Amino acid sequence: MADFLHKLFGTTPGKGVQPKEAIAYSITGIGQNFICTIVGSYLTIFMTDALLFGAEGVKIGAMEGAMAVAFLMLATRIFDAFNDPIMGSIVDKTRTKWGKCRPYLKWMAIPIGICTILCFLPVFKARSVTTFALISIIYVIWSVVYTVADVPYWGLSTCLTNDTTVRGNILTIARLACTVGAGVVTVGVPIITDALTAKFKYTDSAEHIAKIMAERGVDAEGAKAFVGTVMTEYIDANADTLKWIYFICAVVFVVIAMPMFFYGFKNTKERFTASDDNIPSFGHNLKLLFKNKELLLIVLSGILGGARMVYSYTGGLYFAKYVLQNEGLYGIITLLVVPGGLVASVLVPWLTKKFTKKWTYVIVHLFGGVVMAVMYFVGYDAPWKLIVCAIGLVLLGIPQGVNNIMTYAMIGDTVDYLEWKTGERGEGICFAMQTLINKIGMAVGAFIGVMSMSIAGIDAATGKVGNPDALWNVLILSGVISMFACAVPMFFYTLTEKRQRELVAEIEARKASSAK
């Protein structure tokens, strides 16, 4: 087993980073994604559906409730994203006996857990402006606390090793582990909510159809339009049930995740990190950031690609729940992406060797844009069309799988580039850009998802949908544009694998020369 693990990670027995550390690092990623996904994917729907801010007629000030939630998610995430450089600078200033990144895994686990649970308290009153304000405050606090652990977690990968191949292998396994963590939450929660709220909804049984006809005075065809909607007398009961489901799920995932943070702290070791007393200022780190042109190209690409995965965020959940009338199908939507993602993830080392990171990244995103364009023109309103779209989702796993690993590996290379250029590594400020990209993607995903809900005329209290095509159009077209756009900056990226190895060799030669 030991030989297999060394081969898997590309490590050397007894020298440098060891498989035990890579595994511990990946386990922390699972816990981190339990937390990130329960908030990132379900806080929005908790607010729109459980607290009924997405119900028809609900307003926050002069704004429709659903749009208020959309702007809250967008504003908070963007605010949080631009906190990342600050946190990155703090990481680069950190000097402890444990290193600069690892301590945050130990210190922040419990605060993150507490803030996550507070986001889903079942005592919040539905449709209340006060509730909206309280959750807004808690969500901002959660975002800041999460950032304090997220930035150093990803920065830790460059402190474990400076070998780009080994680091790439470690990040490949870590990202796969993160996908598993996110997948458990994404697939499991909708199945639970759909099963436990089914009793509150009209079904396609003859009894319910007859009941709808009697209540609403419509014919049989008209009554079928109400199938899947919540019965009027159960609207509040449905919402209260959702409150408790999301709260209990949050508690369970927090309890499981917390030990994973501590395990990662205990079983990793920082080897490549600043050890001098010359602690950089935030202003100095920002200057370093703008000297790292290769990193800035990755950041620009990530921002332009913020909507490429919007179908896997809140919008996809709304589509499954309100258009397909089965919330549990959201798990199927996300699972369909997994095979392509796993294949792509496993092939990343080969693709990198064959085409380089840059061209692999460009090619798979152009491919993804074509796939989504085909899905848009095919549509979803017939069984055969759904089959075509299902195949499309499998194929979309390819750019998702590559992106999940490749950007982390490329940012790790830019840390070496920065050290070669300036003599300073700046792991914190560099990997703060990865978390910035992730959070902008989540912000865009949540915003577009809730905005599409509003455009489609969905009433979260009853489940009625005014214009389902609008939801489809927004989700797919935004993805098409984003897939193509994110490839453009990478045409100007020049840090190849060969160049990175040359830079590392030159750095080591400088260190050896100065030590004489």
> Coil, helix or strand for 121?
coil
Residue 372 forms beta bridges with which residues?
A: none
Q: Are 24 and 157 in contact (CB under 8 A)?
A: no
Helix or strand (DSSP H, E) at 60: strand 59-60
Distance from C-alpha of 399 to C-alpha of 396, rounded to nearest angstrom: 6
Residue 495 CA, distance from chain mean position: 26
- List all residues 6 or more positions away from 98 whose beta carbon is below 8 Å from its beta carbon: 106, 265, 270
| Regions of the chain where pLDDT drops below 70 | 273-279, 515-516
Q: How many residues does the chain have?
A: 516
Q: Are 54 and 446 in contact (CB under 8 A)?
A: no
Distance from C-alpha of 386 to C-alpha of 373, rounded to nearest angstrom: 15
477 burial via Cβ count (<10 Å: 0-12, 13-18, 19+): middle
Distance from C-alpha of 257 to C-alpha of 184, rounded to nearest angstrom: 12
Q: What pLDDT, on a 0 to 100 scale, did the predictor assign at position 110?
A: 95
> Coil, helix or strand for 230?
strand
Q: Are 309 and 398 in contact (CB under 8 A)?
A: no
- List all residues 6 or more positions away from 121 whose beta carbon is below 8 Å from its beta carbon: 247
Distance from C-alpha of 83 to C-alpha of 149, rounded to nearest angstrom: 12
- List all residues 6 or more positions away from 128 whose beta carbon is below 8 Å from its beta carbon: 51
> Coil, helix or strand for 64?
strand
Kindly report the pTM of this predicted structure.
0.83
Distance from C-alpha of 167 to C-alpha of 161, rounded to nearest angstrom: 6
78 burial via Cβ count (<10 Å: 0-12, 13-18, 19+): middle
Distance from C-alpha of 213 to C-alpha of 496, rounded to nearest angstrom: 66
Distance from C-alpha of 419 to C-alpha of 51, rounded to nearest angstrom: 49
Q: Are 319 and 475 in contact (CB under 8 A)?
A: yes
How many Cα atoms are found within 13 Å in the side-chain-facing hemisphere of 493?
31
Distance from C-alpha of 193 to C-alpha of 335, rounded to nearest angstrom: 17
Distance from C-alpha of 277 to C-alpha of 498, rounded to nearest angstrom: 33
Q: What pLDDT, on a 0 to 100 scale, did the predictor assign at position 38?
A: 95
Listed by start position, the domains of the chain span: 16-269+281-508
Q: What pLDDT, on a 0 to 100 scale, did the predictor assign at position 276?
A: 59
- List all residues 6 or more positions away from 508 whose beta carbon is below 8 Å from its beta carbon: none
Neighbours of 275 (CB within 10 A): 9
Q: What pLDDT, on a 0 to 100 scale, did the predictor assign at position 224?
A: 77
- List all residues 6 or more positions away from 9 whose beta carbon is below 8 Å from its beta carbon: 17, 19, 22, 166, 169, 170, 173
Residue 60 forms beta bridges with which residues?
A: 63
What architecture does CATH give domain 16-269+281-508? Up-down Bundle (1.20)
**102-131 burial string, b = 16+ CB within 10 Å, else e?**
bbbbbebbebbbebbbbbbeeebebbbeeb
> Coil, helix or strand for 59?
strand
